[in-house]
Structure 1
């Protein structure tokens, strides 16, 4: 059954199973659900569609905002812990390297060689960990910034209107090869034909 639903935009995870990705805070996508039901019936399996809208739009929007804020806080916390771990590893590497601060080479055959090589390996390992944790901190910091920027974008009517105007301009340009009636309809919808004419005027 999963192979039949996969091309229709459904996602599978062990928990919760087969679902529509990104649908947690949206209304039911009835078109996609009905297509999936038809695909299941095509496999000679019985299928009944039952849609239960557990939350209103306002409740879904409030839950989405809470989840976005929690996600930003979680990513920021991960970035902070990774940055702390990176600095700690760097400090460890520097502390071990203090014995070499004058450029003292490892003396082959000397009784100190074994300890020096062990300290050198520990120092390198700590530095590699510091670099890896720093990269991880940068990754989670960028995720937190992206989550916060997306939430601010959703709350900014000006940015959303600008994006909508850009989409309408590109949509009107792509429809230039249509018929005259279609072109007029698209231009009216996209606002490229000036203000709509008043009723009763030709």
Structure 2
């Protein structure tokens, strides 16, 4: 029986090599949520690129394939790439996808126009209002022409709809080539920092407190588990450093505002709205007021800031 190799790396994701059409591997792979890629010419696990290997899914797949009579080897490398490389690769792949979809949309539009023109060419040869003459020698040709007109118009409509959908998908892919919004960056940083705190707790141990009473002491990880947590923490710290630089650049470009020094009494604008006075500074939001209105807004939604003692502050 053919020997198969399951490999995982961050740049390539999880792939399997050695399979062939009709060799009996497909049922086991489909059952474990693998997909076939025509571009790669191989089965792969979706959304596995630039993530740690899903050991449970790889083990289940290997066991199912071995039960089917295959020899299976597993090679896993969980070394992460630099975040800058990951983002550059994502942008390049999104640009390539958008370009391919644009070309496909143009081909579909051309097909639609050609089938539409073919239908009109047939219809233009028929006198306006001419019915099908039942029993006449022209009946067979007339019915054939009517069917050809219908099939061409149907194909033109379907191709036009497919072209518009493909164009929409191209625009969606192209959106991933544009600079990330300040709000998305801020939310990403919040999640990464929360993940880092969670990993550090598991790595180093933590204390469970209820009220002011310590109810449990959870010891930190040891051995291989400690090493895995340490590697995850280092990767998260690298990602946080990258996205903090992105946010600093967004501030420098005027796309968002550094609100770290904002205090109660200062004025803020939210997405270019009127000025609101800060009533209270919360960890992730500001409580702001204007007239009789009071709302809470995330720090990253602030687009302009005036200190309470600013000469422009007339409110």
Does the residue aligned with 1:102 lie in a helix, a strand or coil?
A: coil
Could you list the structure 1 runs, at least 4 aligned residues long, displaced by more than 4 angstroms after superposition. 36-43, 45-49, 161-165
Give 1:53 shift: 3.8
- Structure 1: stretches of 5+ with no match in the other structure: 168-178, 182-188, 195-202
1:126 deviates by: 0.9
**1:104-126: CA deviation from partner (whole Å, max 9, x where unpaired):** 11112223222222211111111
Query: Does the 8 Å CA contact 1:96/1:123 hold for their aligned counterparts?
Result: yes
Structure with the higher helix share, 1 or 2 = 1
Task: Spell out, residue by residue over 1:67-95, the C-alpha distance to the aligned partner (whole angstroms, 9 max, x if none).
Answer: 11010010111111001100110011011
Question: Relative contact order (C-alpha < 8 Å, sep 6+): which is higher?
Answer: 1
Decide which moves more: 76-85 or 113-122. Answer: 113-122
**Conserved 8 A contact 1:37-1:49:** no
Question: Which residues of 2 match residues 85-104 of structure 1 at below 5 A?
Answer: 85-100=111-126, 102-104=128-130
| Cross-structure match for 1:125 | 151
- How many residue pairs match? The answer is 165
CA-atom RMSD in angstroms: 4.1
- Select 1:191's aligned residue among 272, 280, 284: 284
Q: CA deviation at 1:47?
A: 7.7
What is the TM-score normalised by the length of structure 1? 0.62
Unaligned runs of 5+ residues in structure 2 are 1-24, 67-71, 192-208, 212-281, 288-315
Residue 158 (structure 1) aligned with residue 182 (structure 2) = yes
Q: Which has the higher strand share?
A: 2
Quote the offset at 1:161 in angstroms: 4.4
Partner of 1:66: 92
Q: Is the 8 A contact 2:94 2:176 kept in 1?
A: no
CA distance in 1, matches of 2:124, 2:81: 61
Question: CA–CA distance in 2 between the matches of 1:83 and 1:123?
Answer: 18
Q: How does 1:69-80 map to 2 (within 5 A)?
A: 69-80=95-106
Conservation of the 8 A alpha-carbon contact between 2:52 and 2:78: no
Distance 2:283 2:73 in 1: 41
**Is 1:21 the equivalent of 2:46?**
yes
Q: TM-score w.r.t. structure 2 length?
A: 0.42
**Is 2:236 the partner of 1:143?**
no
1:164 is displaced (CA, Å) by 5.8
